[in-house]
Structure 1
Amino acid sequence: MRQKLIATLLHIISLLPFWILYGISDLLFVLLFYVIKYRKGVVMENLRKAFPEKTEVERRQIAKRFYRFFPDLIVESIKMKSIKASTVIKRIELLNPEEVYKHFKKGKGVIGVTAHYGNWELGIHRLSLMTDYPRLVIYKPLNDKNFNEVYNALRSRFGATMVPMKQILRHMIRLKGTPHISMFVADQTPTYQDSDYFMEFLNQDTLVYTGTERIARLTKNPIVYCHIGRKAKRGYYYCKFTTLVEDPTEYEEHEITALHNRFTEQRIREQPEYWLWSHRRWKRKRRK
Structure 2
Amino acid sequence: MSRRKKSVVLQRVEYALYRAVAAGANRASDQAIARWGKRLGRLSRNLLRRRDALALRNLSAAFPQMSAEQRRGILDACWEHFGRETLRTIRMQNLPVAEIAIRCPFVNAELLEQAIARGRGVILISAHFGGWEVGGLALMSLVKNVRTIARPLDNEFLERDLGRIRARTGAEVLDRRRAARAMLKALSENAVVVILPDQAVLPREGVLAPFIGRNAWTTPAPAKMALRLGSTIVFAFCIPDATGHRLEFEETIFVDQLSEEERDPVALTKRINDVISRRIERRPELWLWMHDRWKGTESEGVNGE
Scaled by the length of structure 1, what TM-score is found? 0.87
Q: Per-residue CA shift, 1:24-77, capped at 9, x if unaligned?
A: 2132244345x5464321121111001011111111111111122111111122
2:273 is aligned, of 236, 261, 282, to 261
1:242 is aligned, of 238, 251, 254, to 251
In the superposition, relative to structure 1, how do residues 94 and 105 fare at CA in structure 2: closer, same or farther (>3 Å)?
same
Q: Structure 2 unaligned segments of length 5 or more: list them.
A: 1-7, 301-305
- 1:244 is paired with a residue whose SS is strand
Distance in 2 (CA, whole Å) between partners of 1:49 and 1:79 is: 35
Query: Which deviates more, 67-76 or 4-13?
Result: 4-13
1:277 is aligned, of 281, 289, 292, to 289
Query: Which deviates more, 52-61 or 81-90?
Result: 81-90
Q: Is 1:165–2:176 an aligned residue pair? A: yes
Q: Is 1:76–2:88 an aligned residue pair? A: yes
Aligned ranges 1:71-150 → 2 under 5 Å: 71-132=83-144, 134-150=145-161
Q: Is 1:224–2:231 an aligned residue pair? A: no
Q: Is 1:200–2:210 an aligned residue pair? A: yes
Distance in 2 (CA, whole Å) between partners of 1:242 and 1:62 is: 26
Aligned to 1:178: 189
Aligned to 1:210: 220
- 2:168 is paired with a residue whose SS is coil
Query: Which deviates more, 51-60 or 235-244?
Result: 235-244
Q: Which residue identity is paired with 2:72?
A: R
Distance in 2 (CA, whole Å) between partners of 1:37 and 1:10 is: 18
* Cα drift, residue 174 of structure 1: 3.2
Identical pairs, percent: 21
- 1:157 is paired with a residue whose SS is helix
* Cα drift, residue 248 of structure 1: 7.6
In the superposition, relative to structure 1, how do residues 25 and 173 fare at CA in structure 2: closer, same or farther (>3 Å)?
closer
Aligned residues: 284
Q: Which residue identity is paired with 1:159?
A: G
Q: Which residue identity is paired with 2:272?
A: H
Distance in 1 (CA, whole Å) between partners of 2:15 and 2:71 is: 41
Query: Which deviates more, 203-212 or 42-51?
Result: 203-212
Distance in 1 (CA, whole Å) between partners of 2:80 and 2:28 is: 19
Q: Does the 8 Å contact 2:129/2:288 carry over to 1?
A: yes
* Cα drift, residue 90 of structure 1: 2.0
Aligned ranges 1:145-156 → 2 under 5 Å: 145-156=156-167
Aligned to 2:59: 47
Distance in 2 (CA, whole Å) between partners of 1:276 and 1:141 is: 18
CA RMSD of aligned residues (A): 2.7
Distance in 2 (CA, whole Å) between partners of 1:234 and 1:88 is: 12
In the superposition, relative to structure 1, how do residues 219 and 152 fare at CA in structure 2: closer, same or farther (>3 Å)?
farther
Q: Which residue identity is paired with 1:90?
A: I
* Cα drift, residue 191 of structure 1: 1.9
Distance in 1 (CA, whole Å) between partners of 2:21 and 2:42 is: 22
In the superposition, relative to structure 1, how do residues 41 and 123 fare at CA in structure 2: closer, same or farther (>3 Å)?
same
Query: Which deviates more, 175-184 or 90-99?
Result: 175-184
Distance in 2 (CA, whole Å) between partners of 1:109 and 1:28 is: 39
* Cα drift, residue 9 of structure 1: 4.7
Distance in 2 (CA, whole Å) between partners of 1:4 and 1:26 is: 21
Q: Structure 1 unaligned segments of length 5 or more: list them.
A: none
Q: Per-residue CA shift, 1:207-239, capped at 9, x if unaligned?
A: 1111111211222101111122233x0533332
Distance in 2 (CA, whole Å) between partners of 1:203 and 1:144 is: 34
Q: Does the 8 Å contact 1:92/1:239 carry over to 2?
A: no
Query: Which deviates more, 237-246 or 85-94?
Result: 237-246
In the superposition, relative to structure 1, how do residues 271 and 198 fare at CA in structure 2: closer, same or farther (>3 Å)?
same
Scaled by the length of structure 2, what TM-score is found? 0.82
